[in-house]
Amino acid sequence: MIHFHIETPNEEIRPRLQEKIDCLTKPKGSLGMLEKLAMQIGCIQQTLSPRLNHPCHIVFAGDHGIAAEKVSLSPQEVTCQMVANFWTGGAGINFLARQHRFDLKIVDAGVNFDFQPEDPIIHRKIRKSTRNYLYEAAMTREEMELAVERGAECVRNCFDEGCNVIGFGEMGITNTSSSALWMTYATGIPLEKCIGAGCDHTGNIVRHKFNVLQKSMGNYHGDGSPEEIMRYFGGYEMVMSVGAMLKAAELKMVILIDGFIMTNCLLMASKLHPEVLHYSIFGHQGDEAGHKLLLEHLGAKPLLQLGLRLGEGTGALCAYPIVDSAVRMLNEMNTFKEMQVTKYF
């Protein structure tokens, strides 16, 4: 698999960042999470005056063979229909990208549909849907490695355009099932606590979903390594997201993490390269069952809790203004010395 060289941010700058934060015209620690974010971003960029440049958001789309087992109320064709909705600008992620001025990119990772060359998406299809992991591995080793490479390539292109802060989202009917399996194998949390209703707001499908996924686990006889779990139970859009996150960390970009599925992608990326966590900001705690446990497992403190469970990266973009505020705090607030204000703490 493609090699990533991800460095842990140099900690030597931390005392100087803390001094700058503490000398801003406010009581020490009074801006709470903004101060913690400012410290993290300053360490990532190795500067006392960080900048967020050309924000980009990539939505990877792909279909899953397990959809044949009816583990989602939504039919598989919704994936390709939503991709069209993305490029016409009418989805949830579209209004948020416009609102927060993100460059939105839609990637066909493995949608079970023949898009036309002129369609306004990034064509990186591995295959038209993964295989059904109830019976066989979702993808071959070669397909998995290609997905990682293509995800990394998409991020490199954003970086070359001047981007240093990036979010990721997904579209793929039944990908909460794949995410639940990644979660249980990578954390040891029982499967039943990892499974949620996905797009079924009634929750009626959960028992059937559990039975199918439990059978899938029973039919799996691999070595349980992160690479094998990614390959056997993953989706092309999910594996591309893993490659994208690792490349973003390698390039020292700020990574905005969305909900249940993207947090599982980060989980798997961290199993390959734990350093990726230093570059990651968790946008929100979603309403999908298992996300809270997953965040706790990672020791993550999400910025928002709005009851979201849409995916697409919407929670990450909702949280972006808070990240922006942290950077503005460092760059736009005066110090006590500059304004000759007596420290009042």
Q: Mind listing the pLDDT tens digit for each residue in 64-91?
A: 999 999 999 899 999 999 999 999 999 9
Q: Are residues 200 and 84 both part of a single domain?
A: yes
Catalytic residue among 145, 288, 312, 338, which? 312
In a domain, 1, yes or no: no
Q: How many domains does the chain have?
A: 2
pLDDT at residue 218 is higher than 90: yes
* CATH code for the domain in which residue 111 is found: 3.40.50.10210
Q: Are residues 93 and 132 both part of a single domain?
A: yes
Cβ distance 260 to 290 under 8 Å?
yes
Q: Are residues 136 and 46 both part of a single domain?
A: no
Q: Which residues of 71-89 are buried (b: 16+ CB within 10 A; e: fewer)?
A: bbeeebebbbebbbbbeee
Q: Are residues 41 and 93 both part of a single domain?
A: no
Give residue 66's region: left, alpha or beta (phi > 0; psi -120 to 50): alpha
In a domain, 4, yes or no: no
Host domain of residue 29:
11-51+329-339
The pLDDT value given to residue 200:
58
Q: Are residues 33 and 119 both part of a single domain?
A: no
Share of the chain above pLDDT 70, in %: 97
- What is the per-residue pLDDT across 21-66, written as a single tens digit (0 to 9) for each? 999 999 999 999 999 999 999 999 999 999 999 999 999 999 999 9
Residue 335 DSSP class? B
Q: Are residues 20 and 72 both part of a single domain?
A: no
Rounded Cα distance, 327 and 322, in Å: 9
* CATH code for the domain in which residue 37 is found: 1.10.1610.10
The pLDDT value given to residue 289:
83
Q: Are residues 128 and 244 both part of a single domain?
A: yes
In a domain, 18, yes or no: yes
Kind and range of the H or E run holding 183: helix 175-187
Q: Are residues 121 and 38 both part of a single domain?
A: no
Note if 312 is an active site residue: yes
- pLDDT-based confidence at residue 266 (cuts at 50, 70, 90): very high
Mean pLDDT across 220-242: 97
Q: Are residues 258 and 160 both part of a single domain?
A: yes
